[in-house]
Amino acid sequence: MLVAISTNRWINGNGRHFIESVGLWKICSTDVCAFHSEIIYSKVLLIFTFLFGLFGSIVAVLAQVYGVEDIKNAIARIMFVSGFLGLCGMIPATVFLVLIMFYRSVSYGLIFGWFGAVLYIVAGFLSWYHHKREPDRSMTLEEIRQQAQGSNTQLPPYTVQPPPSTVFVS
């Protein structure tokens, strides 16, 4: 996402008015680049996308390093928010850049932007799925019984066998 929001090559220009490339921040001709003030909301949303994604990645790494429990759900929410902000920023930016009169073809900035937004959503979904499938902390016997009663399944009978009274050594 950092590459997408920092580059000036989102679309390649068609040569009309000597425009070579158009990015999120600048329009570049063959000689000079000039700032444009279009799609301000997309710029803001994509910056927040990057910041939320960076924050989520830092939280995930620190949780792994320090062994923090019950953090997968929070990471999933952060990544879902990042992905949602990314989509909300990428859709209008793509529509604007593809419909302007300078459009010839897409470039790497637009591709990286879409890839980053989708990747944040996939990371959020995988973290959420992993949280639901395998919780960080083990469940107590009482929690297992409550979960089994809620799903109308029978628990297998647990019996505690006494230790052997004699040990034979041969």
Domain that holds residue 92: 2-136
- Residue-level pLDDT at 155: 54
- Residue-level pLDDT at 41: 92
Q: Would 168 be classed as within a structural domain?
A: no
- Residue-level pLDDT at 89: 94
Q: Would 31 be classed as within a structural domain?
A: yes
Q: Would 156 be classed as within a structural domain?
A: no
CATH number for position 58: 1.20.140.150
Return the structure tokens found at 126: 């995988």
Say what angle helices 108-133 and 40-66 make with each other, to 10 degrees. 40
- Per the listing, tokens 């329009």 go with 27
pLDDT tens for residues 40-87?
A: 999 999 999 999 999 999 998 998 888 777 788 888 999 999 999 999
Q: Which amino acid is at 14?
A: N
- Residue-level pLDDT at 15: 80
* Helix-, strand-, coil-residue percentages of the chain, each rounded to 5: 60, 10, 30
pLDDT tens for residues 108-156?
A: 999 999 999 999 999 999 988 888 887 666 666 777 777 767 665 555 5
Q: Which amino acid is at 9?
A: R
- When pLDDT is averaged across residues 82-100 and rounded to a whole number, the result is 92
Q: Would 170 be classed as within a structural domain?
A: no
**Spatial distance between the Cα atoms of 21 and 9, rounded to a whole number of angstroms:** 6
**Spatial distance between the Cα atoms of 170 and 164, rounded to a whole number of angstroms:** 16
- Per the listing, tokens 């529509």 go with 95
Q: Which residue has the higher pLDDT, 166 or 151?
A: 166
Q: Would 10 be classed as within a structural domain?
A: yes
- Structural domain tally of the chain? 1
Q: Would 157 be classed as within a structural domain?
A: no
**Spatial distance between the Cα atoms of 102 and 163, rounded to a whole number of angstroms:** 82
